[in-house]
Amino acid sequence: MNFISDNTAGASAPVMAAIAAANDGAAAAYGTDIWTQRVERLFAELFEHEVSVFLVTSGTAANALALACLTRPWGAVLTHQESHVADDECGAPEFFGDGAKLIGLPGTGNKITPESVTKVLARMREGALHQVQPQAVSIAQATECGLVYRPDEVRALKQAAEPRGLKLHMDGARFANALVTLGCSPAEITWKAGVDVLSFGGTKNGAWAAEAVVFFDQALAAEMKWRRKRAGHTLSKGRLIGAQFEGLLAGGHWLALARHANAMASRLSEAVARGGSVRLAWPCEANTAFLVLDAATQERLKAAGVGYHAWSDTALPDDAALASGDIVGRFVMSFATRSEDVEQLISLLNAPSR
């Protein structure tokens, strides 16, 4: 029973079939192939907006290169203090941004608020020679704690940042999972809410190695082709990334995969919410459930070979402090998660402690 990450799942069958089909014969290189061109049009249709799209192979590249296009070396990006770009990219955003600074903000469930943005901007004087200049806000959809930003929350963040001209980046590694929960259109939660650039995740949701940087403000994409090439992400056989997105997007396959993953996480969280020695750390709003586990439950899961991550408790609500020996466990569901594994996990969690 492996609930460590949705990265542990392989690629879906339609994606593998799309790769195999694109593999036959010769094709133009470096993103000039027909697969990539078709995918660029598909994204414009999906978001109901003209966009500039750049395909890469990792979320780290997508986030780091997107933010590099939004900031100067003396600039700064406001983000949650435990966001993926701050904690899990090994300094890539700063490196590819030529030294642009990440400034971490607090927030329950790894969500930042307009108030926190306004507060930090008030301390950062515009044009001050001795301070970095804030130039972007980055949010994750869903957050590292599995929470989802609603369209009105995204709009409020954009409004807080707009007086200083900050651009808004969305890390959408689990964008599909968030969209399934929200039930809105891709446009409503992105450019219509004020998002300028989206890192559109495919790898966690049925692709093999496929991410897209989607610029809704196409002027911001002016440097991207050079930044992507310089970073080593302009692949000669780019059709094999384009083909993956064709396989994912065809017939709403990407949403069907996310819907299954979300349903598995909901099943687990609903069982936990009914009571017992285990409780939810945060509401389950995507494909990840965070559970507060006591020592006895931890031992029981370990003995049964259940894989999960011990997670930071820094972003817990103020009234939800952990008792001695408790931890927050992260359980991630994917398109390949089996319902019988979830049921077995629920049985283990509900078993009486000895």
Cβ atoms of 259 and 337 closer than 8 Å: no
Describe the strand order of the beta sheet including 288-293 as a list of residue ranges. 279-280, 288-293, 327-332, 309-311
CB-hemisphere CA count at 13 Å for 138?
A: 33
- Residue 272, burial from CB neighbour count under 10 angstroms (0-12, 13-18, 19+): buried
Whether 353 shows a pLDDT value over 70: the answer reads: no
Report the pLDDT value the prediction gives residue 354, as an integer from 0 to 100. 59
Residue range 90-110, pLDDT digits in tens? 999 999 999 999 999 999 999
Report the pLDDT value the prediction gives residue 252, as an integer from 0 to 100. 96
Domain boundaries, the chain: 11-253, 254-350
Tokens of 118: 């306004």
pTM of the model: 0.95
Strand-strand pairing, 288-293 and 279-280: antiparallel
Q: What backbone phi and psi angles, to 5 degrees, belong to 72?
A: -100, 165
Overall average pLDDT of the 61-65 stretch: 98
**The dihedral sign for the CA sequence 293, 299, 300, 303:** positive
C-alpha 10/C-alpha 229 separation (Å) is: 27
Report the pLDDT value the prediction gives residue 299, as an integer from 0 to 100. 95
Residue range 208-226, pLDDT digits in tens? 999 999 999 999 999 999 9
Q: Which of 255, 256, 285 is nearest to 270 (CA)?
A: 285
Residue range 293-307, pLDDT digits in tens? 999 999 999 999 999
C-alpha 324/C-alpha 239 separation (Å) is: 52
C-alpha separations of 18 from 25, 78, 207 in Å: 14, 38, 10
The amino acid that residue 225 corresponds to is K
Whether 324 shows a pLDDT value over 80: the answer reads: yes
CATH class of 11-253: alpha beta
C-alpha 335/C-alpha 354 separation (Å) is: 34
* DSSP letter (8 states) at residue 194: T
CATH class of 254-350: alpha beta
Question: What is the rounded (10 degree) CA torsion for 34, 36, 41, 45?
Answer: 130
Cβ atoms of 288 and 331 closer than 8 Å: yes
**What mean pLDDT, rounded, does the chain reach?**
95
Report the pLDDT value the prediction gives residue 321, as an integer from 0 to 100. 83
Q: Which of 188, 136, 197 is nearest to 167 (CA)?
A: 136
| Beta strands, E only, the chain | 52-56, 75-80, 101-105, 133-140, 167-172, 197-201, 211-215, 279-280, 288-293, 309-311, 327-332
